Amino acid sequence: MDWTALWLTLRLALCTTAILLVLGLPLAHWLANSRWRFKFLVESVVAMPLILPPTVLGFYLLVALGPHSPVGRFWEGLTGSPLPFTFAGILVGSIVCNLPFAVQPFAASFASVDRRLVEASWCLGQSRLRTFLRVTVPLSRAGILTGLVLSFAHTVGEFGVVLMIGGNIPGVTRTLSLAIYDDVQALDYRAAAQTSLVLLAFAFVTLCLTYAWRKKAATA
């Protein structure tokens, strides 16, 4: 069992989930409520990682974050190190490719909140932001939890994007799924089986807990 890889994977998944919570809630709120006629463009971009091969996504991110791109140069000027082949680099990649896993459940649950409850809150003197925090978010907790769990679990299992942007550097960008690949390449099936079992159990337990909680939340 590669403990360094496990710790790195958990860190990556936690950071990705936390940042997606902060970025995803306002974006999902906008998607659920906006009447802009070109909203479908944003929706398509958000959903793109669902169907793009991770290698394609990873390739574009590598180019976009590299030292020849404005983003890459800005980051290097700011921190002194480039984005690709670092933890920050795979974190950015991970956030982008998990966007739909967080934003779509968020937006779906926001859209299902009874419009009149939101209006009732406005009429009780609450601003749009306070209404969002006091009415929309609590009533969407099942959808928000689903989005977070999906992003976390999907980050743990992400392979292509991490490999393209991060390479496979132990302790820096080598996550559990990369470790399994390495073990198989090295014909160390025992290690690969161990790690795979851990990931399988993790996925199963997470989904069981989520569905059980959702059922409770729905009947409460």
Partner 1 sequence: MTAILQATFEKRYRGGPAVRAALEQPAEGFSVTAILGPSGGGKTTVLRSLAGLERPEQGFIRFGPETWLDAARGVFLPPSRRGIGYMFQEYALFGHLTVSQNVGFGLSGSPAGARRRRVGEMLDLMRLGAMAGRFPRQLSGGEQQRVALARALARKPRLLLLDEPLSALDGPTRTELRRELRPLLKQFDIPVVLVTHDHTEALSLADRVLVMDRGVIVQSGPAGEVFGHPASLSVARLVGVENVLAGVVRGVSEGLATVQVGLARLLAVVEEPVEGDVHVCIRPEDVLLQKGPLPQSSARNHLPGTVVSLAIDGPLVRVTLDCGFELTATITRPALEDMAVRETHGVTALIKATAIHLLPR
Q: Which residues bind partner 1 (CB under 8 A)?
A: 114, 116-117, 119-128, 130-131, 134-135, 138-139
Least distance in angstroms from the C-beta of 128 to partner 1: 8
Query: Alpha helices, DSSP H only, in the chain?
Result: 3-33, 39-51, 54-65, 70-79, 87-111, 115-123, 128-131, 137-139, 141-157, 160-166, 176-185, 189-219
Least distance in angstroms from the C-beta of 92 to partner 1: 35
Least distance in angstroms from the C-beta of 209 to partner 1: 21
Separation of alpha carbons 196 and 216, rounded Å: 30
Least distance in angstroms from the C-beta of 148 to partner 1: 19
Least distance in angstroms from the C-beta of 207 to partner 1: 25
Q: Which is nearer to partner 1, 122 or 211 (CB)?
A: 122
Phi-psi region of 144 (alpha: psi -120 to 50; beta: other; left: phi over 0): alpha
Q: Which is nearer to partner 1, 114 or 188 (CB)?
A: 114
Show contacts of 209-213: CB within 8 Å, 24+ apart: 210/145, 210/146, 210/149, 213/142, 213/145
Separation of alpha carbons 151 and 198, rounded Å: 18
Q: Which is nearer to partner 1, 73 or 134 (CB)?
A: 134
Q: Which is nearer to partner 1, 54 or 143 (CB)?
A: 143
DSSP labels, 43-86? HHHHHHHHHS-HHHHHHHHHHHHSTTSHHHHHHHHHHSS-STTS
